[in-house]
Structure formats: structure tokens, C-alpha cells
Structure 1
């Protein structure tokens, strides 16, 4: 009897192992130039409050999304702010974020110091009394590669950051508020990050999801790229605004929206990478990183279970200027005319707007190539400029969502 029970338990465990193995067998995608995305060590910043006792000046990185690796006195009016990346090699996205205050009200200069071959990128943003603003240019000083700012300090800390801080918690709060009362939006988790942070996805459709083709929206693969996230917010809000246009769209299609793909990197204040020291937007081939592997598994399961296909993938990022990165291959995709039609509509509906498109077939394992080579779908990297004003971001995000829905509502999809 005991032998039978043990044999049954062993058989059950074997079946479970086979099932789990089958679930994890997701299709990889080949690229011309592979990138090594096996995990690499990172240098964790030491969380502390730095003190310049003689000057009565303090700075701190003891908060989520901070980046500060050292703080040294230069003279009685200036300090050196030391900023380092999480590891290298890494692209020049020199992110920083710290709080500063003083015992007594005074002006003080902060000179930024980066490792060799890296330079200052982001114009400082200041948060005071709960509000963000760009630091006035009259308080910014550039001398060759040396970047210095002047701040008026008091005993109330202010936050100085490369971009407005939008932590994983901030994202979750925004998601909860945005989908409140919308029963056609299902907030799900597709797994956890390396450090155990939940990975949210919004599953959006009306009616029956069976057979509905899918539009995928991604953002925050790269931590500092907040302006792209703001465009994602406006794009998604437009899809959820209960208009007749959106209702028609969501009765025909299904949207999978991933609002924070790299929460570890965001919360750790990373320049580019996740907690394993990897650029997740180079992992869309072999899926060595759990964040990408779990997202791909979630999409693959939805496609198989509901007999659907991916039509379009938009990955929201930020760079030096507004630009759309597209693939040259279009005629053989499920939406061969979408890109041309969409860009024409954007220029027609946004005053004085000219689409900046850069087109080339993806050679490295990035998301836009994964949509093309893995699903024969249109893949676009939707980039917003580092310094693009918020009102312009909101307009572009809103109009681009509206025009996407109009085009897809009338589209004849190639099977």
C-alpha cells in the first residue's frame, strides 16, 4: 500500500514537472547580431546621508529611485556630486537623483562628476512642496565637460533629479486610479522581478476575448526614460476614455499593456539596466532575464489560449529627441500599410508636427524586432525627447492613440 502511494506521488510529481516544463518552453527568436544577456554583477550604491559639517550642507540618497555614489567638499561654496552607473559597459544615460538641504538658508554649488567617457545628459528637475519643475537655466553652468548647478538651500529638503521620479509604487498608484470603475480592464500580474517586485499587466477588451487580435504596449525597460512613460500614460488613457471610438476598438481588439517592465532598475536608480546588470531591451531573443521571459510567456499563453495573434507592438522609450524607430519590412506583415497611414494621420491632426521616423530592420534583439520576426507584426519603438514639454507629450500621446484606433477599426488584417 505504501509503495502504491509513493508510486502515485512520484507519478504526480513527474506529470507536474512535465506540465511546468511545457509551460516554460516558449519560442525564441533569432536575430542577426545576438547580445550576451546573461546576468552580470552590479555595484549597489551605499544608501546614506552625506554631511559637510563645516558648511552645514547635507545630501541623501535614502529614498526609492535615488542615484548618488559620493559627495565631497570642493571649497566653502561648492561640493562634488559623484555619480556612477550600476555597471559597465553602458550607454550614456547618466541618471542622478538626491535630496539636498542645509542648516541655514544659503546658496550652494553642486559640480557633477562622472566616470571617464561619460558626460552629463539630463537637465536637472527640482521637486519642492510636492511639485516638479525644470531648474532655471540661469542656475546651470557648463565649462567644457564640467556641469555645475546652483541651488538655494533651506532646512527643508529638495529633490534634484535627472528626470521626474516615477517609482514602481508611483506606477501602481497611477494604474489603480486610471482603471478605477472600468470593468473591462483586468489588472493582472505576469510574475515578479529579480528582487521580488510584482510585474503588472493590464488586459483590456470588451465582450468575448476569443479570437481578438492583440495590440501590445510596453514601457520603462530603461529606468530614466520617464517622458516615454508619460506618452504611454496618455496613450492608454485615450484607449480607456469610454468614447465611441474606443468602445468600437475594444470590441474588436484586445490590448495588453505593461506599464513597468524593469521595476528593479527604476527603484534602484539605475542608468539603464535591471537588477542583473542587463539592458532588458537586448533580451528579446533568448529571454535570459526573468522580466522579459515572463512577459513573453504571458503573451504566448494569451495567444494560444484565445486563438489570437499580435498585430502591433509599441514600446515607449525616451531619447534625445522625438523619434519613431520602425522596421523596413512591412508588406509581409499583418498590417502592411499601418505605419504610413498612422504617420500621415499624426501630421494631419497635430498642429505643426512632422513625424521623425528612422527605419531599419532590427539586427539586435530589441522588442520591435521581436514583434516582427517572432509574430510577423508591426513593431515600433516610440521615443519621446528627454526635454519634450509635458503638454506636447500629452497631445502626441492622445492623438497617436486616437489615430491608431481609427486605422485599426477600419483595417483588413492579412492572415
Structure 2
């Protein structure tokens, strides 16, 4: 009687736990694990600062903004304070604010960071709908970091470390440039972020998806790394363009492209982390963060459902220079010769281009290691320099996409 009561009470719970556990993505071991449990963040106060004596306003009331405080220093200078969402964090101070003035005037904006951080990004400006780099003669070194000399007037202008591409901006891009008139691109969702924002996925193939080998494209794990996102955009646009190569490639292969893996961090103006204060590109082991868990679950479930092997993963980022981070292990992977052949093609197809490769097997739980250890696939972190000209990014993104398709069709 006691045994029956025990099993009658707990067997359904035990079965439910087994079912839940089976549905979770397989965890991957790394040599140097990272604690990716939630950590507290400091939210910036959203407000518009008005300096009456100057007639100047400064605001962070938009998605992608980063401004933690503003004070008038003297009759021509406003000090702007920028701080990260939490620490420890990479030394990559991100900033983004909007400013305007009642009357045209010249203003000096002094950038101030916590003492352990130094200025990194050249200021970009958006005015009248167009982005451009602020002339270096108007960026002055100061004791606190940098001082920006700027002419302001009634027309608001955005100043940011990198061009702002919020979740809405990303959505407009793929709706207009990828989905429009391309019935072989299927818009889906990998789930939601910690704060409930959508994690979009572009599922790209022609004909039936069944049995097609899968190429995975990721970007925006780290919010300010926008130059990597630009390369991702060109890469995807090349994959879907109306060409014989694209048609043949998508008839044989399937591409899962994730254009905004960290929508919370992007819209909150974070330096690096998600809304739980965690670096998502350290969570590809135990998947404690919903963004990574949802994306990994989506990829593995698609692969299992349609019998498509995951063969290649490219994760687009930005850093100080153009570089490809690769795994040393090639033999026994899905594409043992792809990296060497791909890099050879890039140097051949792009004028005056030399591949900068840094190879080492991933010790920390990053995406390129997940592709290698978890899938036996080739994983590459595709980094674009902070200040690589956009024309060059377009050239590299297009050439690398064309070379990938051609090489995989030769396989």
C-alpha cells in the first residue's frame, strides 16, 4: 500500500523530469568552464538632460543608447559619463547619445569612463538619416578620455561608438532585403530573450529541407560589434541573391542565420552582456542563458527533425583588427579541408588581402568550440576590425560568401 502510494505520487513527476531532460540540448564540456549564471546589472536611467544656460539637450531615450550621466562643466563643455552594465567586462567602452540645441552653437562633449577603462571607438554621427565618422580633428584627447567638438542645432544628431542597429533596425533589414520576394527564405523564431524579445532566425533553402547539410550563421552576441554584423548582412545577402550559384547551393544546402542573438543587450545599449549580465559567448556549454539555450535547441531540433547534418558554423564579431579565430582540429570534422581552401580563395579573390588566422582549440565555452566538440563540425569566429571601412567589409563579406558556396558545392 505504501509502495503503491509512493509510485502513484512520484512516477508522473519522474517521467516528466525525464521528458524535460531529453528535450534539453546536449551539454558540451570545455577545458576551462565559465560561470554563466545570472549576475546583477545596473540599468541606465532613461532621460533627456537639458542645460538651460547652453540651450543644449542630451538624451539616451532610444533603443541602443548608452549614457549614464551628464553635467555641464563650463560655458562650452558638457561632461558625459558612460559606464558598463556590470563588471568584470571587456575594456570596450560603448556610448550612444542624441543631442540638439535651440540655437546653432559649438559644444565640447567630454567623455568620462570609470577609471579602469579607456576610450576605444572612434565617434560616429548620424544626421539627416546618414551615418559617418566624425572628423578626427574634432576628437581631442583629454584627461578623462576624449573630448568631442561638435556643432549642434535644432536638428537632432546621434553620436555613437558604432552605428546603431537596434532590434527594430535589424528586423527592417531582413524584412526588406532578405525576405522580400524570396519565397525560399522562411522567417522563424528561436524563442525569446530573457526580457521577452524575439530571437529571429532566417531558415534558407530551396525545395525540401530534408537531408540538407546545415550551415549556421550567428551574430550580435556582443551588442557593439556592429562591423561583424555588417559582414553578416553582406554574407547573407549574397547567399540569397538571384544567381545560378545561389540557386544551386540552396538546392543542396540549408542555412540557418541568426541576425540578433542578443536583442536585450543590443536595445539596452550594453557593452557586452545580455540582460542577465552574462557574456553569451561563454555559455555554449551548459546553456544557462535563454538566448543560447533557445538557439542551440532550435539548431539541434531542426537537424534531428529533418536529418540535416550540421557541417559549418560562422559566428560574426568585431575586434581591433580583421581576424579569423579557428580550431586547430581539422581531421575528423565534417569539412577537414574547408578552412585552408576557403582562406586560399579569399586571398585569391580579394585584392591586396591577406588572411589573418589565429588557430587554437576552444578552451572556453564559445560558439566555435560548440560546433567542434558538440557537432564535429567546423566552427569559425569571423571578426571584422572596429574601423575597417564599410566598402572593405562589403567586399570581404561578399567574397567569403561566394567562396563558401563554391567550395561546398565542390564537396
Q: Output the TM-score relative to the length of structure 2.
A: 0.95
* Residue-by-residue CA offset, 1:349-393 (whole Å, 9 max, x unaligned): 000000011111100000000000001111000000111111110
- Counterpart residue number, 2:386: 386
- Counterpart residue number, 2:314: 314
Question: By how many angstroms is 1:20 displaced?
Answer: 5.7
* Residue-by-residue CA offset, 1:260-297 (whole Å, 9 max, x unaligned): 00000000000000000000000000000000000000
- Counterpart residue number, 1:288: 288
- Counterpart residue number, 2:5: none
Q: Matches of 1:186 and 1:22 in 2, distance apart?
A: 29
Asked if 1:165 is matched to 2:164, the reply is yes
Mapping for residues 323-338 of structure 1, pairs under 5 Å: 323-338=323-338
Q: Matches of 1:213 and 1:142 in 2, distance apart?
A: 51
Distance change (3 Å), C-alpha of 1:331 and 1:221: same
- Counterpart residue number, 1:6: none
- Counterpart residue number, 1:59: 58
Q: Matches of 2:58 and 2:23 in 1, distance apart?
A: 46
Contact 2:222 2:272 in 1 (8 A): yes
Q: What SS does the corresponding residue of 1:75 show, helix, strand or coil?
A: coil
Q: Matches of 1:312 and 1:144 in 2, distance apart?
A: 46
* 5+ long unaligned stretches in structure 1: 1-9
Q: Matches of 1:323 and 1:296 in 2, distance apart?
A: 25
Q: What SS does the corresponding residue of 2:401 show, helix, strand or coil?
A: helix
Q: What SS does the corresponding residue of 1:94 show, helix, strand or coil?
A: coil
* 5+ long unaligned stretches in structure 2: 1-8
- Counterpart residue number, 1:114: 113
* Residue-by-residue CA offset, 1:170-219 (whole Å, 9 max, x unaligned): 11111111211211111001101111111110111112211111100000
- Counterpart residue number, 1:189: 189
Question: By how many angstroms is 1:146 displaced?
Answer: 2.5
Q: What SS does the corresponding residue of 1:171 show, helix, strand or coil?
A: helix
- Which stretch of structure 1 is more off in the superposition, 44-53 or 281-290? 44-53
Q: Matches of 2:333 and 2:108 in 1, distance apart?
A: 54
Mapping for residues 127-142 of structure 1, pairs under 5 Å: 127-142=126-141
Q: Cα RMSD over matched residues?
A: 1.7
Q: Matches of 2:313 and 2:210 in 1, distance apart?
A: 19
Q: Matches of 2:100 and 2:209 in 1, distance apart?
A: 53
Q: Matches of 2:18 and 2:329 in 1, distance apart?
A: 37
- Counterpart residue number, 1:366: 366
Mapping for residues 334-349 of structure 1, pairs under 5 Å: 334-349=334-349
Q: What SS does the corresponding residue of 1:159 show, helix, strand or coil?
A: strand
Q: Output the TM-score relative to the length of structure 1.
A: 0.94
Q: What SS does the corresponding residue of 2:73 show, helix, strand or coil?
A: strand
- Counterpart residue number, 2:104: 105
- Counterpart residue number, 1:403: 403
- Counterpart residue number, 2:377: 377
- Which stretch of structure 1 is more off in the superposition, 272-281 or 238-247? 238-247
Question: By how many angstroms is 1:24 displaced?
Answer: 3.2
